[in-house]
Structure 1
Amino acid sequence: MLSRLFRRSAALPKTVPGRIPDGMRVYAIGDVHGRLDLLDALLTRIDAEDAARGPAERHIVFLGDLMDRGPDSAGVIDRVMRLAKADPRVRLLIGNHEEVMISALEGKRDALRLFHRIGGRPTMHSYGLSEAEIMAADWDELAAAFQAAVPPEHLAFLKSGEDLIEIGDYAFVHAGIHPDVPLAEQKVADLRWIREPFLTHRAALPRIVVHGHTITDGVEWMTGRIGVDTGAYASGRLSALAIEGDERWIVDVEGAPSDAR
């Protein structure tokens, strides 16, 4: 199963030109997928590293897919929501899993079925729905139970996320961009779901694209893009790309793989 989920990362030189404005430091966190334990550890490491590097305006960009597959999606959403409320420089991108969860909570039955299929069951567990309740419910009953279990502020927070964030020479998105379309004209579906032709594109892009969505066994450094989804729920590794000026480096943590899927 894992061999189908993971791509081998490309370890190319980290010297592709690109910079952010002076005085800023950006941490882009890859797909968390319900791993609150890893997120807490990574945020602690980021806090310590950020302090050690000296004064800068710190920005944290969550690349999307906070939920599903891992064991504590409710805890992850709550943690990120509280961070963003306390600091407007903490921002969330809407990933495909956010999109599906939002649609499921808005009563779209097809979305609830897809949510269930792509790892939403552990998310329901994290909001207090038991396995017995899930198994006994029909789709309408399950939709009602899930809607009742999720705090309205969680849904509002997820819906407030962004699709594209541009900082300096970088564009932060969940999945990627269509290489042949200007940034201002990108389709939301591509920003949240695309794999090809983005992943195999080798020519220049309008920005260096920092993204999640496609799991690799390490942060993937390509000429026009940097992939930061290291499969936290399955690998036990959660990664962040850090950027300051024209410098880039990785901050990550490792723990045990999750039993939830």
Structure 2
Amino acid sequence: MQDTVVYAIGDVHGCYSELRSLEQKILLDALPFRGRKIIIMLGDYVDRGPNSKRVLDHLVAPAPKGFLRVCLAGNHEVAMLGYLDGHLSRELWLAIGGLETLYSYGVDPARLSDLYGSSDEVDRRIREAIPASHVSFMRTLPVMVCSRKFVFVHAGIRPGIDLVDQDEDDLLNIRAEFFEQAHLLDRWVVHGHTIVDAPKFEGHRLGIDTGAFRSGRLTAVRIVGKHGKLLSSAS
């Protein structure tokens, strides 16, 4: 990765204006670099924040000029697909931030319930409101990107298990086992999923989810070789 600059961006959660602000800072920061430029999104683009639809519209569109953009899956994309596919109840999805996502599509599930009564009809109307391009985008998201020295993933990895043998549920949801054994990792792991006030290395991991939907701060880390630098939408 010596000739490559990587910008990993933490959990967006519907914070479209923060994402655009951070991208502009990344474009300026990347101007001196002449090699490959990659943006890695660490998942959780939807739920909780106000503009999930605009975030997905943006990520479905081409990356900024001169950049490759890789978008990873987060547990909230999996939950949204779970509801759309009928594997997760509407109530469970709405409770973890799906309500704000539906509002961003101009859908009020309470209003639909008043209009139609039938829960199945309400679900059908909701599913019709989500663009097919957004659904197909979420279905094709990888769960991990790795190089010889770095792993990029939504939640973390289970230490002591080869990357090819990692369980997808761990990659999307793990916390305690990953945190407690981070000193055992043989690569640097950059992840989101768990909110931190200020990113800092803990063992061989760096969590960069700064809770944009409640803090107003979306964070990225720039990696060139073995050197890192933090960027924030709020600074």
How far apart are the structure 1 equivalents of 2:49 and 2:93?
14
Q: Does 1:172 align with 2:182?
A: no
In the alignment, structure 1 residue 213 sits paired with structure 2 residue 193: yes
The answer to which structure, 1 or 2, has the higher relative contact order (CA under 8 A, 6+ apart) is: 1
Aligned residues: 233
Partner of 2:33: 54
1:32 aligns with 2:23: no
Aligned counterparts of 1:140 and 1:187: Cα–Cα separation in 2? 33
After TM superposition, give the deviation of residue 112 of structure 1 in Å: 2.9
Alpha carbons of 1:173 and 1:47: their partners in 2 closer, same or farther (altered >3 Å)?
same
**Secondary structure in structure 2 of the residue aligned to 1:181:** coil
Contact 1:165 1:171 in 2 (8 A): yes
SS in 1 for 2:193: coil
Of 217-226 and 119-128, deviating more is 217-226
Q: Is there any run of 5+ residues in structure 2 with no aligned partner, and where?
A: none
Shift of 1:104: 1.1
Question: Is 1:92 paired with 2:71?
Answer: yes
The AA in structure 2 aligned to 1:62 is: M
What is the one-letter code of the residue matched to 1:97?
Answer: H
Distance between the aligned counterparts of 2:174 and 2:119, measured in 1? 28
User: Following superposition, which runs of at least 4 residues in structure 1 exceed 4 angstroms of deviation?
Assistant: 84-88
Q: Give the TM-score of the pair, scaled to structure 2.
A: 0.93
Q: Give yes or no for contact 1:202–1:223 (8 Å, CA) kept in 2.
A: yes
Q: Is the 8 A contact 1:210 1:225 kept in 2?
A: yes
> Where in structure 1 are there 5+ consecutive unaligned residues?
1-20, 256-261
So what's the TM-score if we normalise by structure 1?
0.84
Root-mean-square deviation (CA, aligned residues, Å) is 1.9
**Equivalent in the alignment of 2:99:** 121
CA distance in 2, matches of 1:79, 1:146: 21
Paired with 2:118 and 2:210, the residues of 1 have a C-alpha distance of 35
Describe the shift of the 1:118–1:130 C-alpha distance in structure 2 as closer, same or farther (beyond 3 A). same
Q: CA deviation at 1:186?
A: 0.5
2:51 aligns with 72
